[in-house]
Amino acid sequence: MTSDLWAALPAAVREKVDELVVEGRSVQAVFAVRSSGVTPRPGLRACQDLIAERGAVLAGRSEPGSSGSPS
Q: pLDDT tens, 31-67?
A: 999 999 999 999 999 999 999 999 999 997 665 554 4
Q: Looking at the predicted structure, is the pLDDT value of residue 68 above 50?
A: no
pLDDT digits (tens, 9 = 90+) for 21-35: 999 999 999 999 999
pLDDT of residue 3: 86
pTM above 0.85, yes or no: no
Q: What whole-number distance in Å separates Cα of residue 53 and Cα of residue 48?
A: 9
Q: What whole-number distance in Å separates Cα of residue 40 and Cα of residue 67?
A: 40
Alpha-carbon distances, residue 62 vs 17, 22, 50, 51 (angstroms): 14, 6, 19, 16
